[in-house]
Chain A
Amino acid sequence: MKWSEFFVTGEPLIYAADVAIVLTMVGIVFVLTYFKKWKWIWNEWLTTVDHKKIGVMYIICAVLMLFRGGVDALLMRAQLTAPNMNFLDAQHYNEIFTTHGTIMILFMAMPFIIGLMNIVVPLQIGARDVAFPYLNALSFWLFFFGAMLFNISFVIGGSPDAGWTAYFPLAGNEFSPGVGNNYYAVSLQISGIGTLMTGINFLVTILKMRAPGMTLMRMPMFTWTILITCVLIVFAFPVLTVALALMTFDRLFDTQFFTMANGGMSMLWANLFWIWGHPEVYIVILPAFGIFSEIVSTFAQKRLFGYKAMVYSIVGIAFLSFIVWVHHFFTMGAGPEVNSVFSITTMAVAIPTGVKIFNWLFTLRKGKIRFTTAMLWSLAFIPNFVIGGVTGVMLAMAAADYQYHNSYFLIAHFHYVLIAGVVFACFAGLHYWYPKMFGHMLNERLGKWTFWLFMIGFNVCFFPMYFLGLMGMTRRMYTYSDGLGWTPLNVVATVGAVLMGIGFIVLCYNIYYSARYGERDMTGDPWNGRTLEWATASPPVHYNFPVTPIVDDLDAYWVMKKKQGGFQVKEEELKPIHMPSNSGRPFWISVAFFVAGFGLVFKWFALAIAGALFIVLGLILRSFENDDGYHIGVDEIKRTERAARKGA
């Protein structure tokens, strides 16, 4: 391979990105050196096993990836604003929608949700960390280096360009000979392994580490949704692992699993992809439901209505999520029997989801609703998600789906469920738990500006797409001709996308502004919360709870406040606390994954083997390691507690 092929060339946008990347890296090195922060970043962040810090790192990455995916989206909207535009050529457009989809689902939505669950779940169940803190760090760094590997593709070697679904035979060597789809296969594999371990980790954490008295039916709704999500991860991600492994073999070693010749079966890829892909969508939406449940209940100042029905409905949705995958390709010709069955199972998803919508509405009824920014996002979710949901039912009708499939009607539908569902939840959760993460609030005024700009922009952008779909506009078209009458709606959609972009900029400014001037949360409970995370200081001390709280009802902290005026800690009850040690190994094992992955992408097998050997070395060192963590003495706990609570 020549160097001119190694680096992507020929596009001014790419050169600008090259310069930006180099400047950012130089900037980071300079800042860390100038302020002598190298040691700090290594000790406090890169080697941490603290679930709260890992959660914060996930969210930082997710926001950066939201920026990247958002820029991709704006480039696409720019290209589609007018007919016959030449802003992007077809190849460039194909790469951009591929990376937009992959990044938004796997490197934005997933880490945002996983970040929030890292921060919140151990606190909500009264635990001091997750069940396997070392594994948690490894999960994060595998995700991080998987995401980095995916992201460098657009300056080194070339981006994948076969869509985020990477359907064969298009994604095979014959039609996609470059390294782009190698990046797809390998980087998703690396971060996917991280996600699978997160699923196992939180499943065990929630099942085994709840505070005494917290039975399953007293768990906060967010924790419930995470429990079910982990079950989905554990069942769905192995399918992705296998599918990606087969794809990698096809691409690197010329096996014929999905190819056109020698008995390959391209439809097998579509099936495997969606057997993972459909539960994957619910992996991001169920936690969103959990976030909304917490926030709606807090700001309606009322217990969640129909808690049990809510639990049963998420279990029902999770079950259904595994038996609906064929609705992604009703048009494959599987026959009317198959299509009818999957049609009905898909429509059935609307039933438990409807139950949840009404339960949220009835939680609000008779409440005393406070319109904070977090609450605005949660309230806006209801009508917007209902629009996405009912159009989802329309898509579920196989015979009618033949007319909607792959059109902008579909694009509108899944953005209505994923943005109004997941992205609204991420923003809601960010505003809600921000004081818990950083000890200060996000500015409410700026928050509301973000909300209105983004929410209105979202509707202006995506509502017209339903009509574009009915007009015959299909997804992934890089341009269209003048006479079709699609121009006005496309212009409107672009205006909406720009509004969303402005909303995002206001959010970023808010993060900066609030860090400098934001109100400090000295109470630990700024919203009059109901669950145990609000019983800790903001931000919580690294061991979370000086003594394990005792739970005797749903909304444990709410009841504590009513009965005892808060979470009471008597100094004589303190005992030494056992905590896990930091480790740099998850970081460098993940670097080895990155190196091995990079070697595989370019078929530089010597490099891949070297990386793999380091991974194995890391595993060997870990298995002979004898580190039982450390204990925090009672005196130190007393000192820390007094310092943390002096504001309260």
Chain B
Amino acid sequence: MVGADEGGYTVMKRAIWRALSVLPLLFLLSGCVERTAVLNPQGPVARTQYDLIMWSIGFMLLIIVVVFTLFTVVLIRYREKPENADYEPPDEEGNTLLEIVWTAIPVLIVAALAVPTVKATFAFEKPPTDKVKPITIHVTAANWKWIFSYPEENIETVNYVHIPAGVPVRFKLTSVGPMNSFWVPELGGQKYAMDGMETELILQADKPGSYMGRSANFSGEKFTHMEFEVVAQKGDDFKQWVNEVKQTAPKLNENKYAKILEPGLVGRMTFSNTHLEWIDHAKQNSHHVERKSAGNHGNPDHDMAKDSHHHGE
């Protein structure tokens, strides 16, 4: 069934594309497109989402046009007027054929939306390209700041993160307190950072630039200020930045780290080691410890993301 839909889907897609190419003009009315972060994709993930959004907006506009037209015509034609004072509306019970039509068309529309949705949902679990080796960055949300740890480079930043452009980045998300959501709209959709859990979000920037990120999930008093900057750099620039940090940034120790975690706001910080040396918050909930010791998961490479997935079921 998926295969059968495919042909029609691409043909229709092309036609709707053409019609939609004027759509961004509408958004100009409310501000420029660059400011409409979601509609200004700067990476493959955000672009897939943008395509999906535009694809769905096409169908939705179609539905709106049909319903609004019917609505207007009916209201004008069948309003009570002096001329139709004697008119007695017929008592219709319904019409099976019409019922089938307006059940079947939405079924087709849902199918046309479901296929690319499911495809994209699965695609986001893997890096957008397998030609480049992804880098891993651990992200820890705390009240009310973002901590970024680079395990391979052995450096750590607070409230900003540098990434190499054109390279998929595996953000491994966790939280020391309330649930937050890691969102960089120009690079792609969000995912929750939760205590005692590790979730993974893969993003990639096409080209060097600065992108705004923020927490999208309310986490207490100063949540509004949980913003961070994603700085995408050319591969060499990124390497140079890492080296600079290694040479110039101070070391982080447990005391200093505990201070950072205290509830409140902090500025940007940079360190030449990571807190992962002594604690990984993703593995802190004793729930997991118990499960492991009970022998439920013998695998030493036991992946916490899979574990959280398991609980989700």
User: Inside 8 A of A401's CB, which chain B residues have their CB?
Assistant: 189
User: Inside 8 A of A464's CB, which chain B residues have their CB?
Assistant: 30
Q: Chain A's nearest CB lies how many Å from the CB of B263? A: 9
Measured as residues with beta carbon below 8 angstroms from the partner, the interface class of chain A is 35 or more
| A408 to B52 Cα, complex, angstroms | 19
Tell me whether B57 is interfacial, beta carbon within 8 Å.
yes
Which of B161-169, B180-188, B231-239, B253-261 lines the interface with chain A?
A: B180-188
Chain A interface mostly helix, strand, loop or mixed? helix
| Given A351-B103, A386-B63, A406 contacting B179 (CB threshold 8 A) | no
Q: Could you mark each residue 96-120 of chain B with 1 if its beta carbon is under 8 Å from any beta carbon of chain A, else 0?
A: 0011001100110110011011101
| Given A305-B94, A471-B31, A170 contacting B179 (CB threshold 8 A) | yes
Contact among B49, B94, B118 with A307 in the assembled complex (CB-CB below 8 Å): B94
| Given A383-B67, A479-B224, A343 contacting B117 (CB threshold 8 A) | yes
* Contact across chains for B102 and A344 when beta carbons are under 8 A apart: no
Tell me whether A242 is interfacial, beta carbon within 8 Å.
no
User: Inside 8 A of B212's CB, which chain A residues have their CB?
Assistant: 472
Interface residues of A in 437-477 (CB under 8 A from B): 464, 467, 469-472, 474-477
Interface residues of A in 330-364 (CB under 8 A from B): 331-336, 338-340, 343-344, 347-348, 350-351, 354-355, 357-359, 361-362, 364
User: Inside 8 A of B102's CB, which chain A residues have their CB?
Assistant: 354-355, 358
| A398 to B312 Cα, complex, angstroms | 16
* Contact across chains for B95 and A306 when beta carbons are under 8 A apart: yes
| A50 to B57 Cα, complex, angstroms | 50
Which of A60-68, A243-251, A260-268, A427-435 lines the interface with chain B?
A: A260-268
* Contact across chains for B94 and A309 when beta carbons are under 8 A apart: yes
Tell me whether A75 is interfacial, beta carbon within 8 Å.
no
| Given A169-B178, A354-B106, A394 contacting B53 (CB threshold 8 A) | yes
Quick one: closest B residue to A349, CB to CB?
B110
Tell me whether A397 is interfacial, beta carbon within 8 Å.
yes
* Contact across chains for B67 and A340 when beta carbons are under 8 A apart: no
Interface residues of B in 216-230 (CB under 8 A from A): 216-224
* Contact across chains for B110 and A348 when beta carbons are under 8 A apart: yes
Tell me whether B194 is interfacial, beta carbon within 8 Å.
yes
Tell me whether B23 is interfacial, beta carbon within 8 Å.
no
* Contact across chains for A364 and B124 when beta carbons are under 8 A apart: no
User: Inside 8 A of B118's CB, which chain A residues have their CB?
Assistant: 336, 340, 343-344
| Given A163-B218, A399-B121, A405-B216, A368 contacting B224 (CB threshold 8 A) | no
Measured as residues with beta carbon below 8 angstroms from the partner, the interface class of chain B is 35 or more
Tell me whether B71 is interfacial, beta carbon within 8 Å.
yes
Which of A205-213, A220-228, A484-492, A580-588 lines the interface with chain B?
A: A484-492
* Contact across chains for B89 and A169 when beta carbons are under 8 A apart: no
Which of A180-188, A277-285, A295-303, A565-573 lines the interface with chain B?
A: A295-303
Q: Chain A's nearest CB lies how many Å from the CB of B94? A: 4
* Contact across chains for B89 and A300 when beta carbons are under 8 A apart: yes
Tell me whether B247 is interfacial, beta carbon within 8 Å.
no
User: Inside 8 A of A394's CB, which chain B residues have their CB?
Assistant: 53, 56-57, 60
Quick one: closest B residue to A487, CB to CB?
B31
* Contact across chains for B36 and A470 when beta carbons are under 8 A apart: yes
| A476 to B74 Cα, complex, angstroms | 41
User: Inside 8 A of B216's CB, which chain A residues have their CB?
Assistant: 405-407, 474
Contact among A307, A355, A477 with B93 in the assembled complex (CB-CB below 8 Å): A307
User: Inside 8 A of B56's CB, which chain A residues have their CB?
Assistant: 393-394, 397, 400
Tell me whether B301 is interfacial, beta carbon within 8 Å.
no
Tell me whether B269 is interfacial, beta carbon within 8 Å.
no
* Contact across chains for B49 and A400 when beta carbons are under 8 A apart: yes
Q: Chain A's nearest CB lies how many Å from the CB of B220? A: 6
Tell me whether A512 is interfacial, beta carbon within 8 Å.
no
Tell me whether A391 is interfacial, beta carbon within 8 Å.
yes
Contact among B122, B179, B309 with A334 in the assembled complex (CB-CB below 8 Å): B309
User: Inside 8 A of A90's CB, which chain B residues have their CB?
Assistant: 221-222, 224
User: Inside 8 A of B195's CB, which chain A residues have their CB?
Assistant: 169, 260, 266
Tell me whether B156 is interfacial, beta carbon within 8 Å.
no
Tell me whether A167 is interfacial, beta carbon within 8 Å.
yes
| Given A398-B121, A399-B52, A369 contacting B67 (CB threshold 8 A) | no
Q: Chain A's nearest CB lies how many Å from the CB of B192? A: 5
Interface residues of B in 189-214 (CB under 8 A from A): 189-192, 194-197, 199-200, 212, 214
| A264 to B64 Cα, complex, angstroms | 46
Tell me whether A390 is interfacial, beta carbon within 8 Å.
yes
Tell me whether A370 is interfacial, beta carbon within 8 Å.
yes
Tell me whether A175 is interfacial, beta carbon within 8 Å.
yes
Which of B6-14, B131-139, B271-279, B285-293 lines the interface with chain A?
A: B285-293
Q: Which of B102, B196, B313 has the most CB of A within 10 A?
A: B102
Q: Could you mark each residue 12-32 of chain B with 1 if its beta carbon is under 8 Å from any beta carbon of chain A, else 0?
A: 000000000000000100111
| A192 to B152 Cα, complex, angstroms | 52
User: Inside 8 A of A379's CB, which chain B residues have their CB?
Assistant: 71, 75
Q: Chain A's nearest CB lies how many Å from the CB of B252? A: 23
Contact among B37, B53, B63, B123 with A400 in the assembled complex (CB-CB below 8 Å): B53
User: Inside 8 A of B223's CB, which chain A residues have their CB?
Assistant: 476-477
User: 20 A-B residue contacts at CB 8 Å?
Assistant: A267-B311, A305-B92, A308-B94, A333-B199, A335-B312, A343-B118, A344-B118, A355-B106, A362-B95, A366-B78, A368-B84, A369-B78, A382-B67, A390-B60, A397-B117, A400-B52, A401-B189, A471-B38, A472-B212, A480-B224
- Known contacts A335-B312, A379-B71, then 15 further A-B pairs from the complex at CB < 8 Å, ordered by chain A residue: A331-B189, A331-B191, A331-B192, A333-B192, A333-B305, A338-B309, A339-B121, A369-B80, A390-B60, A398-B121, A399-B120, A399-B124, A403-B38, A469-B38, A471-B38
Which residues does B use to contact A, with CB under 8 Å? 27, 30-32, 35-39, 46, 48-49, 52-53, 56-57, 60, 63-64, 67-68, 70-71, 74-75, 78-80, 84, 87-95, 98-99, 102-103, 106-107, 109-110, 113-114, 116-118, 120-125, 143, 177-179, 181, 183, 185, 188-192, 194-197, 199-200, 212, 214-224, 284-287, 290, 305, 308-309, 311-313
* 5 closest A-B pairs by CB: A402-B189, A399-B120, A334-B312, A306-B94, A333-B199
